Amino acid sequence: MANPQPPYIYATQAEAEAASNALYLAQNPAGTTELLYGWVINAAGQYQLAVPDSNVVATPAAPVTAPTVSDYTIAVQALLDSKASERNYDGILSACTYATSANAKFAAEGQACIVWRDACWSYCYQALADVQAGKRAAPTIPDLLAELPALVWPD
């Protein structure tokens, strides 16, 4: 890539990273290729290098919107399935079906998953209702997942 010139705006992340590398190598010919300059996505959705010695002022990104109910439910479901897979179940649904198993270990694990699943969904929907009622700010998905009760596997 030729030596990039201001305003350092690119259509793709790959182009922005290549420009960052080219700028670094132009300033440090013996250096290794690494990202010296970060980039931001400007209001037009373009990748803009954050070059400190340029007259480029990064345009603030569009405001971040809160996750949707669908975003939250997909994330909670993925967490439930992931935790159930720790004990080799296909997912939470599969684990819960073992609550009536004749095998005592499987039955205990299935029951624990039912209790945990119900507690997680109850918490999730109450948190979302609190957001809608203005009782709390909309949590990020990682924050909501961290607030959920922990699964306690039986011994």
pLDDT tier at 33, thresholds 50, 70, 90 = very low
pLDDT higher at 114 or 20: 114
- Position 47 scores a pLDDT of 67
Structure tokens at 138: 């909309």
Residues 6+ apart with CB under 8 A from 137: 131
Residue range 49-66, pLDDT digits in tens: 666 555 544 455 556 677
Helices (H), 13-135: 13-27, 69-85, 92-97, 104-132
For the entire predicted model, the pTM comes to 0.60
Nearest CA among 78, 81, 85, 92 for reference residue 144:
78
Q: CA-to-CA distance for 118 and 95, rounded, in angstroms?
A: 13
- Residue 153 confidence (pLDDT) above 60: yes
